[in-house]
Amino acid sequence: MSNGHTISLGYHREFKHFKTAVDDGILLAGFDYSGKSVNVLNVESMTEWQKIVRLAGETAAIKGVVLMSLKEGNFCAGADLEQMHDAQRRRSFHEMEQLVITTHRLFDAMERSPKPFLAAVEGVCVGGGLELVLACHTRMASTHPRTSFSLPEVRLGILPGFGGTQRLPRLIGLLRPWKWSRQGRRSSHGRRCGWALSRGWSPPLRPVPGL
């Protein structure tokens, strides 16, 4: 994602599922879920993201946040279905409820933050991953062939649970998201919904030194 110039990093902190660095007041957060080929939202990753959001809010030197993925062709695959199915088998419905409540509060905190959050999307961005992106103040997407947006959970009879049913219509109007979410339709570069979701499109992103 670099423009080719050397980036001088003034801050670096390790998490298990995110790699972070600060350059010129911008907190760069690279999502790289450990042990999985795709990024997912679960208790572990959302706990770490909550710490990053809080860190940005409490650190005067940080002026904004850029969220990106460090996995090739995948931005975020949404909620961790393995963890959800495990909770269902254990009948731990309270655990699932707490994840939804915590994620709602976290996304609301991002949305209300006076510091801008930008999602630099490259690769598949679906379900809860799309809802995470919608909670950011703005979005940029790359023209990588795998970059696409969708809410596929509706095909399984599951409604988007992290605020997407409210944020998506605010962004692209009421009729398009109703058809889109009802059918689980995918939107990508060149499609009208894809253009509406992103402030702009860029060439495929390059690695950032330090992440």
pLDDT, residue 156, reads 72
Question: pLDDT below 50 — which residues of the chain?
Answer: 1-10, 184, 189-190, 192
Q: Is 79 considered catalytic here?
A: yes
pLDDT, residue 103, reads 92
Q: Of 29, 131, 164, 194, which residue is the catalytic one?
A: 131
Q: Is 120 considered catalytic here?
A: no
Q: Of 128, 129, 163, 194, which residue is the catalytic one?
A: 128
Q: Tell me the sheet residues that pair with 126.
A: 150
> HEC profile for the chain?
CCCCCCCCCCEEEECCCEEEEEECCEEEEEECCCCCCCCCECHHHHHHHHHHHHHHHHCCCCCEEEEEECECCEEECCECHHHHHHHHHCCCHHHHHHHHHHHHHHHHHHHHCCCCEEEEECCEEECHHHHHHHCCCEEEEECCCCCEEECHHHHHCCCCCCCHHHHHHHHHCCHHHHHHHHHCCCEECCCHHHHHHCCEEECCCCCCCCC
The token pair at 206 is: 């390059």
Q: Is 131 considered catalytic here?
A: yes
Q: Of 77, 79, 120, 135, which residue is the catalytic one?
A: 79
Q: Of 78, 141, 153, 194, which residue is the catalytic one?
A: 153
pLDDT, residue 6, reads 32
Q: Is 95 considered catalytic here?
A: no
The superfamily in CATH containing domain 11-202 is 2-enoyl-CoA Hydratase; Chain A, domain 1 (3.90.226.10)
pLDDT, residue 159, reads 73
